[in-house]
Structure 1
Amino acid sequence: MKKRIATVYLRLMKYAMLMGVFGGIATFIGPPRHGLIKAGIGIVIGAMILGNRLPAALKELYEITEEFTDDMFRE
């Protein structure tokens, strides 16, 4: 279970890094105002490129977290 959570965290970090890179690139495109809006657009584009991978990773993280909480809070 610990190995699975490490791989999921690594995948989520890679996805976040990709969206951050797209946000940074989008900030430099166009006129020099409204940088925050352009960064948000870049992040949305990164999430669209990831497609179904991001929700699948979040679902797997939720399942692992649910296992941890079931172990901690047994009834």
Structure 2
Amino acid sequence: EAFTEHWKGITGYYLEATDESTPAKETDIPWRLKQMLDILVYEEKQRPAGEAGPCLEYLLQHKILETLSTLGKAEV
């Protein structure tokens, strides 16, 4: 649940951002991404090898990496 909340916080920033001149690195986005990474790493350590956990499934199903790539390219 924390994983999805962090993702919603990131996407919410882009949906509601009124000051697009603020670089992402000056927002809470880097912190949220780090939290998501930490959750994925923890989840991976708790699972048997080769078994995807719910957070990894969410990341894949919702194409989070593709979305982050698109958002990053748009900000350059």
TM-score (norm 1): 0.47
Greater fraction helix: 1
State which structure, 1 or 2, has the greater radius of gyration over its C-alpha atoms.
Answer: 1
Structure having greater relative contact order (Cα 8 Å, sep ≥ 6): 1
TM-score when scaled to structure 2? 0.46
